[in-house]
Amino acid sequence: MEITRKTGGRSSLAEDRLGAPAVLSFVLSAVAPLTVCAGVITTAYAVTGLTTIPAAFIVVALILALFAVGFVAMARRIVNAGAFYSFVARGIGQPAGVSAAFVAVAAYNALQVGLYGAFGASLAEYAELRLHIHVTWWACALGAWLLTAVLGNLAIDLNGKILAILLFCEFVTILVITVSGIVHPAGGRLDAHPLWPGNLLAAGSGAALAIAVLSFTGFEQSAVFSEEVREPRRTVNIATYTSIAVIGVLYGSASWAMTAFYGTGAVVDAAKADGPFAFFRLGGSAVSDVAQVLFITSLFAAMLSFHNAVARYMFALGRERVLPAALGNVNPRTSAPQIASLTQSVLGLIVIVVYAAAGLDPFVQLFFWIGTTGGFGVLLLLCATSAAVIGFAVKTKYPDGVWRSFIAPGLALVALTILAWRTVVDYAVVLGVRPGDRVAWILPSLYLVIALAGLLWGLFLRQARPHVYGSIGLGPAAAGLHRPSRD
């Protein structure tokens, strides 16, 4: 059964606004390519001490491509801005769907607000070193927050155009740096050893795989915009597979370029000593100067993309009355999810104020710790969605064939579950804290509490509000089941 997306009224997002290129811009901007290349990859080398980071990206890309088989098949039949939430609700059951929704809202909010820390710290440092202007990180973060809040309430296609421009500049810069690193290898020869997946069997490789899979976070957003695209089936398919392929090749090549430029034996020390600059230096001084600016714009692009994604998740939950109905309202002029967008902005403002008042480290304790935890939440959702694809297929008698409905999602479920477990085991390494540090078990454990809260709320809805319970996961079709003025 395919869910129609025609709704009309105040609870309808703008239809036919986005094509595959625009959705791809949102997806790849959320992934923040330059941020990952300069920040995450160098951190992965420095923290893990492993030289097999390129192989980790290759393996994770293959696993996610396998996951995409069932994910895209599900997206063809269920058009819903709630994406993971609606898939789990339709495949496993409404209580599980609400549980997934709570995890999704928490994870995407963590990813979005975490970026304020990185943006504020990076812009403040750049202003100090390059412009000799002293400004606090939180002042920079507030500027980005205000711009994001404004853009988030405007037409989605305008946001897509802004992201496309920033993304193009990022890709050109990354390609120039990567090619420069590969054609100028240390010792005059390239070493293919870091690309070999078999090396990931070594002890400690769990952290490398965990960081790699977290770096792909955002590729799954193609389904979030399915209600606003032209030809949902085709667009989600193209955007999902293209993003996985592009990200895998880009990150694998960029990380390999670092080992080539510095040498396999020296890349870890270079990453520890220079951080993001270890990547920038591959392209020479002129490219490095440009890359530092684009590193900051990359953070903003990801911030805007995740803001749009989390606003649509909350919109979908409000439309179905799982969360307050007001979240299901849209801007009458732009059809943007107005109340959900403003709610996310208020949350971001609170986080910035709290971190500034407490004097906490914006880069480590906000961006890295909270952002990484958001990525881990998405990994858990990938596992749940793989199971949901199988459950949906069983209910509907395998409409997409055994490969798409059972084999591919089954293999993806096994692989993603192993990755999730390895991430938990090596969470201290991923965060760069001492083994046994409380933060290494508190942060991932929060999802148990969040998931349980969602499950209990779903069961409550089944007993107390059966009309709401019956609309869970229906997406646009749910808008006509509720009167606007009453819950």
Q: Is residue 434 over pLDDT 90?
A: no
Write the single-letter amino acid at 477.
A
Which tokens go with 251? Answer: 């990150």
Q: CA separation (Å) from 31 to 15, 167, 170, 248?
A: 25, 10, 12, 11
CA distance 451 to 469: 17
Angle at 342 between CA 341 and CA 348, to 5 degrees: 95
CA distance 237 to 223: 9
Of all residues in the chain, what percent carry a pLDDT higher than 90? 37
CA distance 107 to 130: 34
- Neighbouring C-alpha atoms within 13 Å toward the C-beta of 482: 31
Render pLDDT for 179-223 as a digit per residue (tens, 0 to 9). 999 999 988 888 888 888 877 766 667 778 888 888 888 787 776
Which tokens go with 268? Answer: 């870890």
CA distance 323 to 5: 20
- How high is the pLDDT of residue 225? 67
Residue 183: count of CB within 10 angstroms of its CB: 11
Residue 14: count of CB within 10 angstroms of its CB: 16
Q: Is residue 6 over pLDDT 50?
A: no
Angle at 372 between CA 288 and CA 113, to 5 degrees: 85
Question: Which of 312, 286, 143 is CA-nearest to residue 225?
Answer: 312
The mean per-residue pLDDT over the stretch 237-259 comes to 90
Reduce the DSSP state of residue 433 to 3 states and report it: coil
Q: Is residue 116 over pLDDT 70?
A: yes
The mean per-residue pLDDT over the stretch 95-101 comes to 93
- Domains of the chain, first to last: 20-476 (1.20.1740.10)
**For residues 296 and 399, which has the higher predicted lDDT (pLDDT)?**
296
Angle at 37 between CA 157 and CA 371, to 5 degrees: 70
Reduce the DSSP state of residue 376 to 3 states and report it: helix
Of all residues in the chain, what percent carry a pLDDT higher than 70? 88
**Count of H-run helices and E-run strands, the chain:** 20, 0
Strand partners, 18: 229
- How high is the pLDDT of residue 160? 64
CA distance 340 to 112: 14
Query: Tokens 């508190």 correspond to what residue?
Result: 442
- How high is the pLDDT of residue 380? 94
Query: Tokens 């389904």 correspond to what residue?
Result: 223
CA distance 293 to 119: 11
- How high is the pLDDT of residue 364? 84
Name which of 34-43, 122-131, 148-157, 442-451 the model is least confident about. Answer: 148-157
Q: CA separation (Å) from 73 to 26, 245, 418?
A: 21, 18, 23
- How high is the pLDDT of residue 82? 61
- How high is the pLDDT of residue 13? 56
Query: Tokens 């054609």 correspond to what residue?
Result: 183
The mean per-residue pLDDT over the stretch 267-282 comes to 89
pLDDT band at 1 (very low <50, low <70, confident <90, very high): very low
pLDDT band at 79 (very low <50, low <70, confident <90, very high): low
pLDDT band at 485 (very low <50, low <70, confident <90, very high): very low
Q: Is residue 482 over pLDDT 80?
A: no
Torsion of the alpha carbons at 150, 156, 159 and 161, rounded to the nearest 10 = -150
Write the single-letter amino acid at 221.
Q
**For residues 321 and 225, which has the higher predicted lDDT (pLDDT)?**
321
Q: Is residue 340 over pLDDT 50?
A: yes
Any residues with CB less than 8 A from the CB of 31 and at least 6 apart, and which? 215, 216, 217, 218, 219, 243, 247, 302
Q: Is residue 404 over pLDDT 90?
A: no
CA distance 311 to 410: 30
Query: For the chain, what is the mean pLDDT?
Result: 84
pLDDT band at 15 (very low <50, low <70, confident <90, very high): low
- How high is the pLDDT of residue 400? 75
Question: Which of 138, 140, 162 is CA-nearest to residue 152?
Answer: 162
**For residues 450 and 319, which has the higher predicted lDDT (pLDDT)?**
450
Query: Tokens 């000593």 correspond to what residue?
Result: 273
DSSP code, position 18:
B
DSSP per residue, 313-348: HHHHHHHTTSS-GGGG---TTT---HHHHHHHHHHH
- How high is the pLDDT of residue 12? 57
Q: Is 397 exposed, middle or buried (0-12, 13-18, 19+ CB in 10 A)?
A: exposed
Reduce the DSSP state of residue 389 to 3 states and report it: helix
pLDDT band at 8 (very low <50, low <70, confident <90, very high): very low
Contact 58, 252 (CB under 8 A): yes
**For residues 476 and 55, which has the higher predicted lDDT (pLDDT)?**
55
The mean per-residue pLDDT over the stretch 161-184 comes to 86
